[in-house]
A and B are shown apart, each in its own frame.
Chain A
Amino acid sequence: MFQDIALAGPILLPALAALLLLGVELLAGGRRSQGSFLLCALGALVALIYTGYFLANGRTGLAFNGTLNVDNTALLIALIVHFSALLAVLLSRSYLAARRDADAPEYYSLVMAAASGMAMLAAANDLVNVFLGVELMSIPLYVLAAIRRKSARSVEAGLKYLLLGAFASAFLLFGMGLLYGASGSTLLSALPAEIARLETNGGLAAFGVVMFLIGVFFKVAAVPFHMWTPDVYEGSPTPVTAFMATATKAAAFGLLLRFTPVIATGMGPEAGSSMLAVIAVLTMFVGNLGALRQQNLKRLLAYSSIAHAGYMLVGVAAIVAEDGGEIALTGSSAIVFYLGTYAAMNLGAFGVAVVLDRGEGREGVNELKGLCSERPLLAAVMAVFTLALAGVPPTAGFLGKLYVFSCAVQARMYALAVVAVLASVVGLFYYLRLILLMYFTPREEGAEPRLLRTDSFLAVASFVCAVLVLWLGVLPAWFVDFVEATVRG
């Protein structure tokens, strides 16, 4: 019992922090935004350290009758989630201080609740836990998107996210029902064998897998289930967008990695990987082409995050194609590496977006014009994140892409690998446009003075991200070895 609770620490600690924040608000009342900020940051930090400690000491295993499988991949994903939560909280302070139209204690409590759900999703080994994890992740995020109650854009973002998220959850649940009907088991690890044993019921498992995947595709914003992403990312408070874009992706891909054997058995490796490859190609191109014409920085980053989901789906397609064996390990570690580096660079970019924010609907890319001459350090940091997102060496973004695409080569999906490289070339254009704006375009005459909103927490967060992106790009060996070694267990 206590062993189980200890293993579930990465899930329970943020949940405890969420309840504590609510309890403090209950007892103290009023707007103790400073105290709740510190308590929340502390909670995220403790969860991060706890997860890191378990990871470093190989404290893994099954918990609660095998319904949670806290293995190394789950711990790595939880580490990324808690890292994102911590940094998003650090970004939030100056953002909320400048607005004053969101209730701080509830805001921080919801961030912790969502982090708990994400960690649960990464470790879930049972369909019930998968569903609980998805909803514990999503429901707080719906509220967080709409937390600025007086802002029509924020509430609209929350509503759109809620409607499409609930729509996706219905697909997910229906798929789970069919998978349960096809196997008689809710344990994810037992599903492939049971589905194979009860072969008689034909298309039931395949239908279930497709419905389940539609639900997951909505959550990771894969084409053609990506329509909500730009609107929700634009309308949500910027730190929430940063958290959504990084941690939700990490958790959902953690689930997808655990689900790959079921895809391979339910649909067959051929059909499953073909479907994933088609979705990956569509996602990469729609994301990159959509980003080309964006003038709003948050919308641009939303399309960029769609494209990044596509790159990672390439790795998932490769894993399903081989169904087990060596590629499952290299593919998983490549995707986890990608998720980690993506979290660092995306959180950094959104951090800069928070600094440059001029208020609703005015998060234009024009705000970047001439940033280099006015704020060289800020421009340099943003340049690092942009180049990393574009996948230019020697940043971490390049290595992430290299590892994921080489998985496709390893699975002999050469066409997919070539198309993925082409898609990232298309992506170069809009990332480089941002660099051009910052370094080579002068600021317009008579433009409004900048409103640089920053505080030491935000500065620390951006700095940590920039250092991580460069460090993982220049000296990746230790992290690659670490991820590979831990994923292999």
Chain B
Amino acid sequence: MITVVDYYVVASILFAIGALGFLLRKNVLVMFMSVELMLNSANLVLVASAKSFDLARGSAFALVSVAVAAAEVGVGLAIIIALFRLKATVDAEEITNLRG
């Protein structure tokens, strides 16, 4: 029997995979993809909760967050392209102009 808690567990695992990917990977694009995975695990929590309460609000929230994530992707890709044009790299280790 699949309960809402199982969805929370799956979402937490996805979130952890995303967070680890963000912290361990060095390619900026992959880091960005990891963040998207984290956002989508949050969407899973929202949709599963909405289903368990039989309320549409959580699903609507997930739709909003998908749209917002798309905007974030747009801006993110644009900034990564701008960086690539300047430095010809997407390796986070090589992006070190700012140090203190």
Contact = CB atoms under 8 A, between A and B. Distances in A.
B98 A157 contact: yes
A231 B100 CA distance: 8
Interface string A215-234: 00000000000000011001
A103 interface: no
Nearest to B65: A173
Nearest to A146: B79
Nearest to B87: A152
Q: DSSP majority for the B interface?
A: helix
Interface in A131-179: 131-132, 135, 139, 142-143, 146, 149-150, 152-153, 155-160, 162-163, 166-167, 169-171, 173-174, 176-178
B42 A162 contact: no
B75 interface: yes
A139 B69 CA distance: 10
Interface string A173-188: 1101110110010100
Given A143-B75, A153-B98, A167-B22, A181 B41 contact: no
A157 B69 CA distance: 20
Given A155-B83, A177-B49, A186 B35 contact: no
Given A166-B32, A167-B35, A181 B8 contact: yes
Contacts of A122: none
Contacts of A176: 42, 46, 61
B64 A131 contact: yes
Interface in A93-146: 127-128, 131-132, 135, 139, 142-143, 146
Contacts of B76: 142, 162-163, 166
Contacts of B15: 170, 174
B79 A177 contact: no
A153 B87 CA distance: 11
Interface string B49-60: 110110101101
Contacts of A135: 68, 71-72
Contacts of A234: 98, 100
A296 B100 CA distance: 8
B97 A166 contact: no
A235 interface: yes
Q: DSSP majority for the A interface?
A: helix
A184 B53 contact: yes
Contact of A174 (B42, B61, B95, B98): B42
B42 A177 contact: yes
B83 A166 contact: no
Given A131-B64, A180-B46, A181-B48, A155 B82 contact: yes
B94 to A, nearest CB: 10
A299 interface: yes
A183 B80 CA distance: 39
Contact of A159 (B35, B52, B60, B95): B95
Contacts of B53: 184
Interface in B62-95: 64-65, 68, 71-72, 75-76, 78-80, 82-83, 86-87, 95
Contact of A149 (B61, B64, B80, B82): B82
A132 B46 contact: no
B45 A181 contact: yes
Given A146-B82, A167-B38, A132 B68 contact: yes
Contact of A150 (B45, B58, B75, B86): B86
B61 A139 contact: no
A178 B95 CA distance: 35
Contact of A186 (B32, B57, B68, B98): B57
Given A135-B71, A166-B35, A230 B49 contact: no
A159 B79 CA distance: 6
Given A156-B98, A163-B32, A166-B72, A174 B45 contact: yes
11 contacts: A143-B79, A163-B22, A166-B72, A170-B15, A170-B35, A174-B11, A177-B43, A178-B8, A178-B45, A180-B49, A180-B50
